[in-house]
Amino acid sequence: MMIAQTPPPPYYAVIFTSLRTPVEDGYKDTATLMMTLAQTQPGYLGVESAREGVGITVSYWESLEAIRHWKQQADHLIAQQMGREKWYAQYKTRICLVERDYGFDKE
Protein backbone atom coordinates (compact mmCIF):
# COMPACT_ATOMS: atom_id res chain seq x y z
CA MET A 1 0.00 0.00 0.00
CA MET A 2 1.41 3.36 -1.06
CA ILE A 3 0.28 6.95 -0.76
CA ALA A 4 -2.21 7.53 -3.59
CA GLN A 5 -0.89 9.59 -6.52
CA THR A 6 -3.79 11.95 -7.06
CA PRO A 7 -4.06 14.86 -9.54
CA PRO A 8 -4.14 18.50 -8.40
CA PRO A 9 -7.35 19.40 -6.48
CA PRO A 10 -10.24 19.71 -6.65
CA TYR A 11 -11.22 16.02 -6.57
CA TYR A 12 -13.30 13.91 -4.20
CA ALA A 13 -12.46 11.59 -1.30
CA VAL A 14 -14.66 8.95 0.33
CA ILE A 15 -13.51 8.26 3.90
CA PHE A 16 -14.87 4.89 5.04
CA THR A 17 -14.16 4.23 8.74
CA SER A 18 -15.25 0.89 10.18
CA LEU A 19 -15.21 -1.43 13.16
CA ARG A 20 -15.29 -5.14 12.32
CA THR A 21 -17.30 -7.95 13.89
CA PRO A 22 -15.30 -11.11 14.73
CA VAL A 23 -16.81 -12.78 11.63
CA GLU A 24 -14.28 -13.59 8.87
CA ASP A 25 -16.39 -15.61 6.36
CA GLY A 26 -15.04 -14.24 3.08
CA TYR A 27 -14.23 -10.75 4.35
CA LYS A 28 -10.64 -10.61 3.14
CA ASP A 29 -11.34 -12.02 -0.32
CA THR A 30 -14.26 -9.65 -0.80
CA ALA A 31 -12.24 -6.65 0.43
CA THR A 32 -9.45 -7.50 -2.05
CA LEU A 33 -11.97 -8.05 -4.85
CA MET A 34 -13.69 -4.70 -4.16
CA MET A 35 -10.31 -2.91 -4.11
CA THR A 36 -9.48 -4.44 -7.52
CA LEU A 37 -12.94 -3.73 -8.92
CA ALA A 38 -12.87 -0.10 -7.72
CA GLN A 39 -9.73 0.48 -9.81
CA THR A 40 -11.63 -0.37 -12.99
CA GLN A 41 -14.44 2.13 -12.31
CA PRO A 42 -14.80 5.39 -14.24
CA GLY A 43 -13.39 8.35 -12.36
CA TYR A 44 -11.29 6.28 -9.92
CA LEU A 45 -8.13 8.10 -8.82
CA GLY A 46 -6.63 5.95 -6.06
CA VAL A 47 -7.07 4.35 -2.63
CA GLU A 48 -5.34 4.22 0.75
CA SER A 49 -6.26 1.71 3.45
CA ALA A 50 -5.11 0.66 6.93
CA ARG A 51 -6.68 -1.23 9.82
CA GLU A 52 -5.40 -0.99 13.38
CA GLY A 53 -8.43 -1.53 15.60
CA VAL A 54 -10.40 0.90 13.48
CA GLY A 55 -10.22 0.48 9.70
CA ILE A 56 -9.82 3.52 7.47
CA THR A 57 -10.16 3.27 3.69
CA VAL A 58 -9.96 6.47 1.69
CA SER A 59 -10.81 6.24 -2.00
CA TYR A 60 -10.31 9.16 -4.38
CA TRP A 61 -12.61 10.05 -7.28
CA GLU A 62 -12.91 12.61 -10.06
CA SER A 63 -16.52 13.56 -9.30
CA LEU A 64 -19.63 12.90 -7.21
CA GLU A 65 -21.05 11.14 -10.26
CA ALA A 66 -18.15 8.65 -10.18
CA ILE A 67 -18.79 8.03 -6.45
CA ARG A 68 -22.52 7.46 -7.06
CA HIS A 69 -21.74 5.07 -9.90
CA TRP A 70 -19.36 3.00 -7.74
CA LYS A 71 -21.83 2.94 -4.83
CA GLN A 72 -24.47 1.45 -7.18
CA GLN A 73 -22.17 -1.03 -8.96
CA ALA A 74 -23.85 -4.46 -8.77
CA ASP A 75 -21.10 -6.53 -7.11
CA HIS A 76 -20.34 -3.66 -4.78
CA LEU A 77 -24.01 -3.49 -3.70
CA ILE A 78 -23.87 -7.18 -2.74
CA ALA A 79 -20.62 -6.61 -0.81
CA GLN A 80 -22.19 -3.64 1.03
CA GLN A 81 -25.15 -5.83 2.00
CA MET A 82 -22.86 -8.63 3.28
CA GLY A 83 -20.84 -5.99 5.13
CA ARG A 84 -23.90 -4.91 7.10
CA GLU A 85 -25.05 -8.48 7.71
CA LYS A 86 -21.73 -10.03 8.71
CA TRP A 87 -18.51 -8.03 8.78
CA TYR A 88 -19.12 -4.58 10.21
CA ALA A 89 -20.25 -3.73 13.73
CA GLN A 90 -20.25 -0.06 12.81
CA TYR A 91 -19.17 2.18 9.96
CA LYS A 92 -19.28 5.76 8.78
CA THR A 93 -18.88 7.03 5.22
CA ARG A 94 -17.92 10.63 4.57
CA ILE A 95 -18.08 12.22 1.10
CA CYS A 96 -15.54 15.03 0.85
CA LEU A 97 -14.34 17.62 -1.63
CA VAL A 98 -10.53 17.77 -1.50
CA GLU A 99 -9.83 21.49 -1.77
CA ARG A 100 -6.08 21.53 -1.23
CA ASP A 101 -3.20 19.10 -0.78
CA TYR A 102 0.54 19.20 -0.20
CA GLY A 103 3.18 16.63 0.45
CA PHE A 104 6.69 15.77 1.47
CA ASP A 105 9.13 13.27 0.03
CA LYS A 106 12.53 12.66 1.62
CA GLU A 107 14.06 11.68 -1.74
Q: Is 90 in the site for its own copies (CB under 8 A)?
A: yes
Q: Supply the minimum distance, in Å, between the C-beta of residue 93 and its own copies.
A: 6
| Contacting range for its own copies; rule: CB under 8 A; set: 25-33, 35-43, 84-92 | 84-92
Residue type, position 85, single letter: E
Sort 18 into a burial class: Cβ within 10 Å, 0-12 / 13-18 / 19+.
middle
Q: Is 78 in the site for its own copies (CB under 8 A)?
A: no
Q: Is 72 in the site for its own copies (CB under 8 A)?
A: no
CA dihedral over 13, 39, 104, 56, signed as positive or negative: positive
Q: Is 104 in the site for its own copies (CB under 8 A)?
A: yes
